[in-house]
Structure 1
Amino acid sequence: MQTLIAEDVVSDLNARFETSTPEEIVRWAILDSGLDRIAIASAFQTEGTALIHMASRIQPDVPILFLETGYHFAETLVFKERLADQLGLNVVDLTGDYTVESQADAFGSRLYERDPNACCELNKVVPFARALRDFDAWMTSMRRDSAWTRKHTPIVSQTELEPGKTLVKINPVANWTHRDAWAYLKEHDLPHNPLYDLGYASIGCAPCTRMVFAGEDERAGRWSGLLKTECGIHVREARVQDETDDDADCPPSETAT
């Protein structure tokens, strides 16, 4: 695999960034990494709002990639527009090859119930991979403590999007906790998706998201009752974690897709 950053440098960066603040990591990514084309992937959740705020203060026109699946909560879409207006964001809506209606015609209704992996592939994985061809790197707001599938998330990594196309992935808030994210929003007087106030902890497409119960991890409300914990965008990291986690940490019946 062709690399944009030497692997030994990636290792050094990960060691260094373990004690850096998210703001320092974002500043490095935008100003000092040598990566010219950087985007942020966001569903406008709490950590994503914080990351967007950090990045937009350094590069106001940084592209914010939002997967417009057609299945989002109305509250999410309204909040996205509100934050975009408030911060003057450059939001890029990504869509798949099917609308809700044409997907139902082609694959049958309620594909998200019958084959959620296929639904995510059509509406998230494919359009996102297509958009990433135009970039050298992308930043995400993944937190290690949000779910067991993410506990080994590296701060900097490189993956091969397709033959001849390598991407650098940067997770500035990997070391943050749930409390850290909310503290940042409070400190900077930033709004949040009102669904959090109703008991949602991780917010995705409406048909595949429920409120969480006491004692559950934040992502327990995503694809509840299914052998699924990820939409597929972060699946490379999830597969590595499946191979490295202890049996006690990874339920054998659960897969990350």
Structure 2
Amino acid sequence: MPLDGRTQTLNRLFKDKDAQDVMEHALTMLGDVAMVSSFGAESVVLLHMAAQVDRNVPVLFIDTEMLFPETLEYQAKVADTLGLTGVKTITAKRDVLFERDNENLLHLHDPDACCALRKTEPLEAALRDVDTWISGRKRFQGGSRAALEMFEVDRPLGRLPRIKVNPLAHWDSSDLRSYIETHNLPRHPLVAKGYPSVGCMPCTTRVNAGEPARAGRWRDQAKTECGIHFGGSAGQQG
């Protein structure tokens, strides 16, 4: 069955199922699977769900080398707490960084190019042989995510299409808080400091009371996504 028809069928079948059911199906029935995790403010929920099914699942963590130190510490803590053995840190190649951003200032004048260099391209290379990948996007985050389905087709440029799974698509912030509290999961240390959504240091600010959770990402810019989640390609990412 073509992937478009297959994902439509899966969305019908799992319409009234919970996120853990979606996760289990993705990890056991959809071929070679990898999770992509920022180990950000809400990431622990999806990681915990995956650990209930398979603690050896490949988890791709993109280190842009511009992350908050707290994120790096949190990544190690969560992986250890959940017993995740398949976490793999992805970075841009040194020679490519030297050629295109040798002073680490690209984000100041072309943030899209910086995201492509440090996130999108390394991730696309890591996903090269993957049939299915799992993300933590949710509809309540707004923007291009507002109509998100649990199963969709990802069409990377120059490569065969694959399935992308969003188990938490229909969750809201209260669902996430409840899950974290119920399972006593560690919180990202920056959440308590006013960062409900955490990206790279240069492009993430605190969020004021009443603002959307992602208001601190690329503040005062038209940019709202890093590119890995843009419709036609994982290689166009947060």
Normalization by structure 1: what TM-score? Answer: 0.84
Is 1:144–2:139 an aligned residue pair?
Answer: yes
> 1:91 aligns to what?
87
* Runs (5+) with no aligned partner, structure 1: 239-255
Counterparts of 1:209 and 1:131 in 2: how far apart (Å)? 25
Residues 45, 192 of structure 1: 8 Å contact kept: no
Deviation at 1:46, TM superposition (A): 4.0
Q: How many residue pairs are counted as aligned between the two chains? A: 234
Counterparts of 2:179 and 2:154 in 1: how far apart (Å)? 30
Note the 1:80-229 alignment, pairs <5 A.
80-89=75-84, 90-98=86-94, 102=98, 106=102, 108-229=103-224
Deviation at 1:161, TM superposition (A): 1.7
Residues 46, 182 of structure 1: 8 Å contact kept: no
SS at match of 2:78: helix
> 1:45 aligns to what?
40
Q: Which residue of the other structure, out of 1, 4, 9, is the alignment partner of 1:7?
A: 4
* Runs (5+) with no aligned partner, structure 2: none
Is 1:66–2:61 an aligned residue pair?
Answer: yes
SS at match of 1:162: coil
Residues 153, 161 of structure 2: 8 Å contact kept: yes
Counterparts of 1:56 and 1:171 in 2: how far apart (Å)? 16
Deviation at 1:98, TM superposition (A): 3.7
Normalization by structure 2: what TM-score? Answer: 0.91
Deviation at 1:105, TM superposition (A): 5.7
The two structures, once aligned, show a CA RMSD in angstroms of 2.3
- The verdict on how the C-alpha distance between 1:13 and 1:80 changes in structure 2, with shifts beyond 3 A counting, is same
Counterparts of 1:155 and 1:205 in 2: how far apart (Å)? 26
Which stretches of structure 1, 4 residues or more, deviate above 6 A after TM superposition? none
Counterparts of 1:67 and 1:103 in 2: how far apart (Å)? 20
> 1:75 aligns to what?
70
SS at match of 2:76: helix
Counterparts of 1:109 and 1:47 in 2: how far apart (Å)? 28
- The verdict on how the C-alpha distance between 1:185 and 1:21 changes in structure 2, with shifts beyond 3 A counting, is same
Residues 146, 178 of structure 1: 8 Å contact kept: no
SS at match of 1:65: strand
Deviates more, 1:91-100 or 1:40-49: 91-100
Deviation at 1:114, TM superposition (A): 0.8
